[in-house]
Amino acid sequence: MEVKNIEREDKGNFIAEIEQEEAGILEYTWQSENEFSIDHTEVYDEYKGMSVGKKLVLEAVDYARKNDAKIIPICPYAKSIFDKTPAFQDVLA
């Protein structure tokens, strides 16, 4: 699985691809210079159960760490992952 980050001004998307097919997307918005929200996470039906959503959230966490940023998990799925993963608390806003 490959994940690409596509940034546009104050928004961006992490897009997961499996065998060059789009498998899911995570949408985020910069709220300030060092804080972004995860607004929406979606895994396409044929890729459910393959940990695509978790991989997208992990990529967002890695991105936040590399950019000294904090995350506001607005998306219910992302929030549930943060709630279950103590190792992500360092980037939680």
- CATH code of the domain covering residue 36: 3.40.630.30
Q: In whole angstroms, what is the distance from residue 91 CA to residue 42 CA? A: 21
Tell me what the pLDDT averaged over the chain comes to: 97
Q: In whole angstroms, what is the distance from residue 88 CA to residue 74 CA? A: 15
Q: 28-40 burial, b if ≥16 CB within 10 A, otherwise e?
A: bbebeeeebbbeb
Q: What is the pLDDT of residue 77?
A: 97
Count of domains for the chain: 1
pTM metric for this prediction: 0.95
Residue spans of beta strands (DSSP E) within 1-93:
2-8, 11-18, 21-32, 35-43, 70-73
Residue 65's identity, in one-letter code, is R
Q: Give tens-digit pLDDT for 17-69.
A: 999 999 999 999 999 999 999 999 999 999 999 999 999 999 999 999 999 99
The pLDDT of 58-83, averaged and rounded, is: 98
Q: What is the domain range of residue 70?
A: 2-91
Q: What is the pLDDT of residue 92?
A: 98
Q: What is the pLDDT of residue 37?
A: 99
